[in-house]
Chains A and B, each alone.
Chain A
């Protein structure tokens, strides 16, 4: 378990401000945010590698704020692996054991399990320079977990890997989390990684936690303009709300339930904007006639801009969704948005 209370720190021109964060025991938690938001700084503050100005850090119900990094029981894995270049893979993995007192049989069992789980047995005598990116990251994970941390901090562990290795290491991470009793806190830029691995997530922006909650909830229900834009809400419109109806430009959109509090924006994810050639409404979706303005081919999917009622909706669809039809040739189409996919903030 990690608990960060009112943490403040200053690092040259950068500041972390009033950080409150709780990661439950054995949870896999994702920390997301743009470059320079303070994600790595926060991880290093939790690990004790950067001194904090004020606030407290708790690990497994112990206040570790005043403890040096080696006494916190917090492991860290960096994006660039940070393997010790003068040591073999096995020496890297066993590094943490030099500073621990535990029965040899116990550590040997853990070593064998990690080597097996991360498929490292054929690499043990190699030096890091002779490993691929994915292998390096697996060694870094084994090394961190070999020390038996209560908490493992992962600083963008997948972003430096090419797509094949990425999936492999991502699966390894999931397996490791399931098979260990360690709490994982991972920094990531990648929405797919966060959704695949993390039960809950937080969004950090300019040194502040902007929003935290269930990972899917963060993507579906952002609570600020920044959060909405960051999580890929392509359709964000200033709106006025009257009961269960949102008025956006010339359109009146049915939301199903009336939003609570004073809201300023209506948003819907591009994946939830459905395009059809017939005005067939399903699940109570609001339907508008529109005109396709632009189709961008992204390889496996298309992003489509549809103009309707003075607004431009963004939609994405698989390239083969319409089989023989090419949306580029369509002019008049229908846009459907279901009430359950609409979000006001």
Chain B
């Protein structure tokens, strides 16, 4: 039998530890609540409402990221300008900033003491304690995931395809819609899923901006604080199920792309 090098056993050991680290707590949490408890939780209208709220606010954040982020991702992938690195760093900021800080930062500009908050208030837009506030926060934290994924997608397309399209009579906008967008469709889908998954899992920033209406992570926190682990687990299980479905979709798409490549 072939003798394995020590490095092989090191990779196996590290891999095993990491997998156990991820799977064990999740598996334990998923299997602890009984089926009757899970069913009962699903009959709780507040739970369903919070999961639904999580879903659609995350979807709204992904949609906003798609509309605003796609042109920016294209610009960053196709142009070189002074300060581009700065712009890219700014886009990555929501990833590195502690989540409660994001909530405080958004509140500080959305409050009535700030001119922007005043303008929003005059327009009838309320951020604090509203669905709009939740969507704002989720967009803030999800945008970098969408933009970075789609930017990488645009960078993967040879600029020559677009140059040829222009030489064949297509304007820049027609070229983008006929060539760049169709070829980035998969990256956009993956970006949307990444953005949405990230948004669904957000807690720290939302809890500051909008404790109510309650999204699922806030409800899990509230149940844990008020009733303990046992009552928070079933809600967590349902939320994890939703997240798993999203990531499963992401993996299927990514694997299919790798196979095609």
Distance between Cα atoms of A301 and B183 in the complex (Å): 48
Distance between Cα atoms of A246 and B133 in the complex (Å): 89
Q: Mark A74-97, 1 if CB is under 8 A from B, else 0.
A: 111010101011100000000110
Distance between Cα atoms of A86 and B178 in the complex (Å): 10
Most chain A C-beta atoms within 10 Å of own C-beta, residue among B160, B167, B172, B183? B167
CB pair B174–A74 under 8 Å, yes or no, is no
Distance between Cα atoms of A69 and B164 in the complex (Å): 9
Most chain B C-beta atoms within 10 Å of own C-beta, residue among A48, A70, A72, A98? A70
Decide yes or no: A98 and B158 within 8 Å by CB, A47-B163, A78-B164, A85-B183 being known contacts.
no
Give A84-124 interface residues, CB cut-off 8 Å to B: 84-86, 95-96, 98-100
Distance between Cα atoms of A21 and B189 in the complex (Å): 47
Q: What residue of chain A has the Cβ atom nearest to residue B174's Cβ?
A: A99
Which residues does chain B contribute within 8 Å of A185, judged by CB atoms?
none
Decide yes or no: A68 and B166 within 8 Å by CB, A82-B158, A84-B179 being known contacts.
yes
CB pair A82–B166 under 8 Å, yes or no, is no
Give A40-82 interface residues, CB cut-off 8 Å to B: 44, 47-49, 68-70, 72, 74-76, 78, 80, 82
* A144 sits at the interface (CB 8 A): yes
CB pair A75–B171 under 8 Å, yes or no, is no
CB pair A144–B183 under 8 Å, yes or no, is no
Distance between Cα atoms of A84 and B128 in the complex (Å): 48
Most chain A C-beta atoms within 10 Å of own C-beta, residue among B166, B169, B174, B182? B169
Distance between Cα atoms of A44 and B159 in the complex (Å): 12
Decide yes or no: A76 and B183 within 8 Å by CB, A70-B170, A98-B170, A100-B169 being known contacts.
no
CB pair B165–A95 under 8 Å, yes or no, is yes
* B125 sits at the interface (CB 8 A): no
Which size bracket describes the interface of B in this complex? 10 to 19
Which residues does chain A contribute within 8 Å of B169, judged by CB atoms?
70, 96, 98-100, 147
Give A298-336 interface residues, CB cut-off 8 Å to B: none
* A205 sits at the interface (CB 8 A): no
Distance between Cα atoms of A76 and B163 in the complex (Å): 8
* A39 sits at the interface (CB 8 A): no
Q: Closest CB of chain A to B149's CB: distance in Å? A: 19
CB pair B167–A84 under 8 Å, yes or no, is no
Decide yes or no: A76 and B167 within 8 Å by CB, A84-B179, A99-B174 being known contacts.
yes
Which residues does chain B contribute within 8 Å of A221, judged by CB atoms?
none
Q: What residue of chain B has the Cβ atom nearest to residue A146's Cβ?
A: B168
Q: Closest CB of chain A to B217's CB: distance in Å? A: 39
Q: Is the interface of B mostly helix, strand, loop or mixed?
A: helix
Decide yes or no: A95 and B168 within 8 Å by CB, A49-B163, A80-B158 being known contacts.
yes
Which residues does chain A contribute within 8 Å of B171, judged by CB atoms?
68, 70, 99
Q: What residue of chain A has the Cβ atom nearest to residue B80's Cβ?
A: A12
CB pair B163–A82 under 8 Å, yes or no, is yes
* A143 sits at the interface (CB 8 A): yes
Distance between Cα atoms of A69 and B169 in the complex (Å): 7
Return the contact of B167 from the options A47, A98, A100 (Cβ within 8 A). A47
CB pair B167–A86 under 8 Å, yes or no, is no
Give B203-251 interface residues, CB cut-off 8 Å to A: none
Which residues does chain B contribute within 8 Å of A78, judged by CB atoms?
160, 164
Q: Closest CB of chain A to B239's CB: distance in Å? A: 37
Return the contact of A76 from the options B158, B164, B170 (Cβ within 8 A). B164
Which residues does chain A contribute within 8 Å of B105, judged by CB atoms?
none
Distance between Cα atoms of A240 and B166 in the complex (Å): 54
Q: Mark B136-169, 1 if CB is under 8 A from A, else 0.
A: 0000000000000000000000101101111111
CB pair A49–B166 under 8 Å, yes or no, is yes
Decide yes or no: A70 and B158 within 8 Å by CB, A85-B183, A86-B182 being known contacts.
no
CB pair B170–A99 under 8 Å, yes or no, is yes
Chain B residues in contact with chain A, CB under 8 A? 158, 160-161, 163-172, 174, 178-179, 182-183
10 smallest beta-carbon distances between A and B, as pairs: A99-B169, A96-B168, A69-B166, A82-B160, A76-B167, A147-B168, A82-B164, A70-B169, A49-B163, A86-B182
20 sample A-B contacts, Cβ–Cβ < 8 Å, listed by A number: A47-B166, A47-B167, A69-B167, A70-B166, A70-B169, A74-B167, A75-B167, A76-B163, A82-B158, A82-B160, A84-B165, A84-B179, A85-B183, A86-B183, A95-B165, A98-B169, A98-B174, A100-B169, A143-B164, A144-B164
Instruction: Give me 16 other A-B pairs in contact (C-beta within 8 A), A70-B166, A99-B174 excluded.
Output: A47-B163, A49-B166, A49-B167, A68-B172, A69-B167, A74-B167, A75-B167, A76-B163, A82-B160, A84-B165, A95-B168, A96-B168, A98-B178, A99-B168, A147-B168, A147-B169
Chain A residues in contact with chain B, CB under 8 A? 44, 47-49, 68-70, 72, 74-76, 78, 80, 82, 84-86, 95-96, 98-100, 143-144, 147, 149
